[in-house]
């Protein structure tokens, strides 16, 4: 009797647990993101809780699900549902539909809605005020791009000092430099002068706050928005702000008063033209100007601009750090026989002969090889694996170009990495070919900043990166300076692999390279080129 009772209790608990598991399984993968009629990638037929397990496998499969499903479905013109680590699958559309995606307005396909969840912004920064976005984006897209020539001398001055400090001045001894840390310091320091002005970029406390904030912001985005299941976002998101708030407070303490003072004085000058005030020409001034030029005049003080500015800039700087790290590791990890560093050095030396050349923006248009290196590196290492992410907004859903319907709340996007590795668009796509985009007699020039439906690391059309012209400018100056002034040893064992974390390709941040300052005269250099290990360095 007792055995019978305990068996039935066990059976009841078992059935309850099973029921609960099925119930959880049904809702664990966010139901809004699972449109009917779209085929899953990576889902095994007849597997118990197949959709949950397909998402779980994404923690370890890296890019394989996306790459193989792209070939199976997208190349045949069929959309597929990509499982994700956040348990929010996303419909990947075929490349031919990109024009349709970018033509849809924000109230039909919204990028902001996806950002709020996928970057975890709704949870790590719940009080985020995006009224300033338009002014900041306009200032970057129009003023910074147009005035990049005017600020080039400052940029060059700053990057010379930073590279000399980080890579050293010793022409005899080789030193070991961690690529990622070096690129972080060089990027923050050099671009900081233009983005925040001379005084802030030389303020150690501010720069320390900015660096800490960008690290924690990056961790928060990936952890809350992508790695943990969507149900836990609110809870984990409420913990992340602690270190972020600390560093953000440091930044705000320094940048807030600068914005407030600039905003008030510029506003006063508008109403009182004889007021004696002329602001420095930097991004902070251009952001305030763009805010005054907005039709609806929703921005009434500099404080709100400052707070959003820090956020956008820290994201922008982190992207630039990742891309310069990828590019340097790509170059030094390539077959030393090609001696790409020497080819880049020759181009830089013949282009940047005088101080005027360094300070003139048109000089950089002649750096075809360097431009091509960055475009090729971005092709192989886009900052996000998926791009053009949008959420379906209308209650009645949207109809895809093939007539299929997607309900409200579904997420769409395109597999950027797979498109950029498609042999229909790129010859031998698996090979790092840094001179691929150098113009020839038959191939016309494609700049690294030119987006298209087969080149998407900066997005494409509406919402694409407004800072890419500035980023390209900075990255070319930085690499030209390094190539001209330093010898760089090739990486032993080739190009170390990236890590896939959430939607990001993280460069190998542990990699160090060996560098040595070049001696002034070419003749005197050649005698000292053999390394201790007797390997032939790039020269």
Please state the residue numbers annotated as binding site for heme. Answer: 465
Choose between 312 and 484: whose C-beta lies nearer to ligand HEM: 312
Smallest gap from residue 321 Cβ to ligand HEM (A): 9
User: For binding to ligand HEM (CB under 6 A), which residues are involved?
Assistant: 111, 137, 140, 312, 316, 319-320, 323, 383, 388, 457-459, 463-468, 470-471
CB 249 within 8 A of CB 258: no
Total Cβ atoms within 10 A of residue 3: 7
Tokens matching residue 364: 């950089």
Choose between 326 and 518: whose C-beta lies nearer to ligand HEM: 326
Smallest gap from residue 76 Cβ to ligand HEM (A): 26
Annotated binding-site members: 465
CA 416 to chain centre: 13
Choose between 319 and 334: whose C-beta lies nearer to ligand HEM: 319
CA 191 to chain centre: 16
Choose between 471 and 500: whose C-beta lies nearer to ligand HEM: 471
Q: Is 80 helix (H, G, I), strand (E, B) or coil?
A: strand
Q: Cα(330)–Cα(475) distance, rounded to whole angstroms?
A: 15
Choose between 299 and 323: whose C-beta lies nearer to ligand HEM: 323
Choose between 121 and 227: whose C-beta lies nearer to ligand HEM: 121
Smallest gap from residue 333 Cβ to ligand HEM (A): 19
481's CB contacts (< 8 A; 6+ apart) are: 156, 159, 160, 163
Tokens matching residue 259: 């914005």
Smallest gap from residue 317 Cβ to ligand HEM (A): 7
Choose between 266 and 465: whose C-beta lies nearer to ligand HEM: 465
Tokens matching residue 427: 């010859």
171's CB contacts (< 8 A; 6+ apart) are: 516, 517, 518, 519, 528
CB 154 within 8 A of CB 477: no
Distant-in-sequence contacts of 307-310, Cβ < 8 A, 24+ apart: 307/129, 307/132, 307/252, 307/256, 308/128, 308/129, 308/130, 308/132, 308/133, 308/136, 309/132, 309/136, 309/255, 309/259, 309/284, 310/210, 310/213, 310/248, 310/251, 310/252, 310/255
- Phi and psi torsions of 269, nearest 5°: -65, -35
Q: Cα(103)–Cα(105) distance, rounded to whole angstroms?
A: 6
Smallest gap from residue 60 Cβ to ligand HEM (A): 26
Smallest gap from residue 48 Cβ to ligand HEM (A): 37
- The C-alpha R_g of the chain, in whole angstroms, comes to 26
> What's the Cα-to-Cα distance from 11 to each of 5, 8, 414, rounded to whole Å?
10, 5, 47
Smallest gap from residue 430 Cβ to ligand HEM (A): 21
Tokens matching residue 454: 């087969």
Smallest gap from residue 251 Cβ to ligand HEM (A): 16
Smallest gap from residue 451 Cβ to ligand HEM (A): 9
Pairing of strands 80-82, 39-40: parallel
Choose between 467 and 490: whose C-beta lies nearer to ligand HEM: 467
CA atoms within 13 A on the CB side of 379: 32
Smallest gap from residue 313 Cβ to ligand HEM (A): 7
Choose between 190 and 363: whose C-beta lies nearer to ligand HEM: 190
311's CB contacts (< 8 A; 6+ apart) are: 125, 128, 217
Choose between 33 and 476: whose C-beta lies nearer to ligand HEM: 476
């Amino acid at each position: 009797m007792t055995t019978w009772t305990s068996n039935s209790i066990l059976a009841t608990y078992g059935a309850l647990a099973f029921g609960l598991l099925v119930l959880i399984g049904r809702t664990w993968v966010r139901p809004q993101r699972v449109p009917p009629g779209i085929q899953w990638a990576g889902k095994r037929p007849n597997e118990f809780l197949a959709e949950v397990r397909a998402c779980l496998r994404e923690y370890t499969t890296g890019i394989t699900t996306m790459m193989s499903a792209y070939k199976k479905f997208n190349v045949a013109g069929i959309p597929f549902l990509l499982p994700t680590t956040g348990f929010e699958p996303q419909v990947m559309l075929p490349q031919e539909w990109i024009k349709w995606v970018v033509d849809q307005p924000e109230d039909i396909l919204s990028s902001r809605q996806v950002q709020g969840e996928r970057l975890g912004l709704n949870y790590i920064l719940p009080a985020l005020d995006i009224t300033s976005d338009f002014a900041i984006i306009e200032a970057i897209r129009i003023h910074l791009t147009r005035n990049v020539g005017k600020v080039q001398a400052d940029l060059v001055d700053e990057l010379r000092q930073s590279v000399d400090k980080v890579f050293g001045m010793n022409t005899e001894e080789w030193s070991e430099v961690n690529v990622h840390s070096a690129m972080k310091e060089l990027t923050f320091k050099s671009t900081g002068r233009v983005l925040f002005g001379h005084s802030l970029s030389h303020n150690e406390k501010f720069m320390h706050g900015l660096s800490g904030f960008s690290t924690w912001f990056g961790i928060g985005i990936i952890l809350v928005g992508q790695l943990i299941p969507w149900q836990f976002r609110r809870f984990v998101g409420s913990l992340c702000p602690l270190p972020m708030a600390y560093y953000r407070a440091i930044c705000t303490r320094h940048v807030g008063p600068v914005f407030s003072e600039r905003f008030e004085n510029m506003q006063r000058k508008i109403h009182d033209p004889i007021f004696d005030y002329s602001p420095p020409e930097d991004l902070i001034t251009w952001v305030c100007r763009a805010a005054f030029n907005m039709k609806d005049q929703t921005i009434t003080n500099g404080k709100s601009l400052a707070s959003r500015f820090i956020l956008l800039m820290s994201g922008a700087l982190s992207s630039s750090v990742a891309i310069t790290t990828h590019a340097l590791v790509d170059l030094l990890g390539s077959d030393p026989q090609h001696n790409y560093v020497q080819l880049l050095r020759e181009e830089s030396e013949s282009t940047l002969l005088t101080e005027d050349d360094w300070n003139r923006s048109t000089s950089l248009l002649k750096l075809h090889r360097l431009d091509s290196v960055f475009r090729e590196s971005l092709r192989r290492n886009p900052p996000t694996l998926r791009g053009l992410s949008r959420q379906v907004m209308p209650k009645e859903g949207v109809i895809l170009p093939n007539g299929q319907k997607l309900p409200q709340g579904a997420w769409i996007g395109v597999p950027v990495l797979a498109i950029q590795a498609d042999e229909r668009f790129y010859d031998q796509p698996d090979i790092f070919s840094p001179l691929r985009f150098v113009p020839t007699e038959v191939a016309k020039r494609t700049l690294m900043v030119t987006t298209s439906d087969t080149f998407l690391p900066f997005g494409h059309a509406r919402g694409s990166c407004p800072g890419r012209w500035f980023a390209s400018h900075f990255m070319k100056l930085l690499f030209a300076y390094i190539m001209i002034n330093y010898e760089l040893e090739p990486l032993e064992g080739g190009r170390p692999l990236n890590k896939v974390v959430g939607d990001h390709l993280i460069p190998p941040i542990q990699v160090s390279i060996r560098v040595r300052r070049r001696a002034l005269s070419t003749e005197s250099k050649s005698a000292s080129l053999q390394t201790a290990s007797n390997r032939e360095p790039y020269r």
